[in-house]
Amino acid sequence: MATGTQIERLKASWIWLAILGAISLIGGILALINPFAATLAAVFLAGWTFLLFGLIQIIHAFRVRDWPGFLWSLLLGVLTVAVGVSLLFNPVSGALSLTLLVAILFLVLGAVKIMYGLSLRPVAGWGFAALSGVISVLLGVMILADYPWSATAILGVLLAIELLSNGIFLLMIALGLRKA
């Protein structure tokens, strides 16, 4: 639980949260306006993330060379760097791969959420978990039904939704802090 001093400092920072929220909302709107550009941005972000992770993994592997898992650690780093480089130098193929991965993820998560919801019966709210699973499965099916064309926009739309959600969340917290 936050102390009175911490809450006062948090209240004083409401403007920064509002600025971050506004930036996130603007980014979300721009991503909705041009989902293909946002998809490419998401692919580049993923590419740089994989590349950085892989390089750090390789450095770590050499720092603990005498460890029995050295070869596996090094291999993981090299493969992760290869994925990052592939995404950066071939972003359209990367969008195809990532879109397929997202569709499969939605299908699997949806099935798990449906089973989870059904296992909660008769607890109140079990239907919401199952409904969320059905929605995830439907999203996965919709992405696959329009694949590969869905790859031109789906990652950008998902990024836009996340940015808009994040922006609204930050603005609501900022406004709540301002009034507190």
Q: Which residue has the tokens 């972003």?
A: 91
**What is the block-wise mean pLDDT of the chain (180 residues), using blocks of 10 residues?**
78 92 97 96 96 97 91 96 97 96 96 95 90 95 96 94 94 88
Contact 163, 35 (CB under 8 A): no
In this prediction the pTM is 0.80
State residue 54's pLDDT score.
Answer: 97
Q: What span, in angstroms and rounded, lies between the C-alpha atoms of 50 and 27?
A: 23
Q: Which residue has the tokens 């926009």?
A: 153
Q: What span, in angstroms and rounded, lies between the C-alpha atoms of 11 and 173?
A: 10
Residue extents of the structural domains in the chain: 14-179
Please name which of 33, 15, 7, 6 lies closest in space to residue 164, comparing C-alpha atoms. Answer: 33
Q: What span, in angstroms and rounded, lies between the C-alpha atoms of 63 and 12?
A: 44
Task: State the amino acid at position 67 in one-letter form.
Answer: W
